[in-house]
A and B are shown apart, each in its own frame.
Chain A
Amino acid sequence: MTVKINGTEETIDDGLSISGLLKKKDVDMPDMVSVELNGEILDRELFDSTVVKQGDDIEFLYFMGGGQR
């Protein structure tokens, strides 16, 4: 099925959870990423139980510090 990840259409396996997708995308520290699913920030506790559906719009958002030193 196709979903949009960070603005780009991608084909992924059916039945993946958000956690599974993060693993597939080689995000080794899922604690460090916020996930927006169809316009809403997804609770971290729901990463395992939320199954990705056809047409989902998913954003992986990363911490970015920096600027002063």
Chain B
Amino acid sequence: MLNDEQIERYSRHIILKDIGGTGQEKILNGKVLIIGMGGLGAPAALYLAAAGVGTLGLVDGDVVDLSNLQRQVIHFTPDVGRPKVESAKEKIAQINPDVKVNTHHTLATADTIIDLMKDYDFIIDGTDNFPAKFLINDACVIAKKPYSHGGILRFDGQTLTHTPGEMCYRCVFHSPPPPNAVPTCSQAGVLGAIAGMLGTMQAAEALKYLTGVGDLLTNKLLIFNAKNMAFRTVKMKRNPKCPVCGDNPTITQLEDYEQAICALKK
């Protein structure tokens, strides 16, 4: 049951007829894992915390860098040099003491990811590299976890939501591109606000999943370009030849792909 303070705090959710008190209770009981506390994870975490998601898990092995602050809005200037998960946990506690935060100052790997995910209802992919994105996809398919995929570059963003049995990221993108074939944000740049646009879409998908409101972005790929503010949703379906969710999957256990980012560290 919601207490008086919660009724006031979440009143703008509660008056939404699709959510109401029952929906807000679902949010308060919800558990969301955010992998990557950067450009996408930061805005997603802020909105999910404000919304009252009961438990937020944060996974990131990095520390805050000055060049992160242009878009990773959960981290502030005095946080430079601190672990991102610690910086984020502190802000979440100030936004909303209702939220329990579990921090994992580590990279998600093939050995650890299933265990990291197991207590959560929904996963947000806020990572910046293809090895991690494919690992998260495969882990979610294998462990039957719903998740939101997000990618941004320059002025563009794309996102899809996977739920068990529906089309996955590998249905569209068969395997990771060769290292350095696709530039990352640190090579090619990204408009900071794009990260906010996409991260908040991912947060909205998580809240829709928890409350059961509306239609998720499943079997669709949403693509936008902010230069002309063009949004497009491409209809897709599960690919029977998909190596992980297809009819004869070849990927049945997880492996770590080469970290493309290593090449960027010189």
Asked whether, in the complex, the Cβ of B157 is within 8 Å of the Cβ of A64, the reply is yes
- Which of A6, A29, A43, A68 gathers the greatest number of chain B CB atoms within 10 Å? A68
Q: A44-B174, A64-B153, A66-B128 are in contact. Are A39 and B39 (CB under 8 A)?
A: no
Residues of chain B from 158 to 184 with CB closer than 8 A to chain A in the complex? 158, 171-174, 177-178, 181-182, 184
Q: Is the beta-carbon distance between B237 and A69 smaller than 8 angstroms?
A: no
Contact A68-B36, Cβ < 8 Å, known A32-B182, A59-B234 = yes
Mask, B121-159, CB within 8 Å of A = 1, is: 000011111101100000000000000001111001110
Looking at chain A's contact residues, the main secondary structure is: loop
Does A1 have its Cβ within 8 Å of any Cβ on chain B? no
Residue of A nearest to B65 (CB): A69
A43 to chain B, nearest CB (A): 7
The answer on a CB contact under 8 Å between A67 and B239 is no
Given contacts A61-B173, A64-B152, 8 further A-B contacts (CB under 8 A): A32-B181, A34-B172, A36-B236, A43-B241, A67-B41, A68-B36, A69-B128, A69-B261
What are the nearest 8 A-B pairs in CB distance? A64-B151, A68-B128, A68-B38, A67-B40, A68-B36, A66-B185, A66-B152, A63-B182
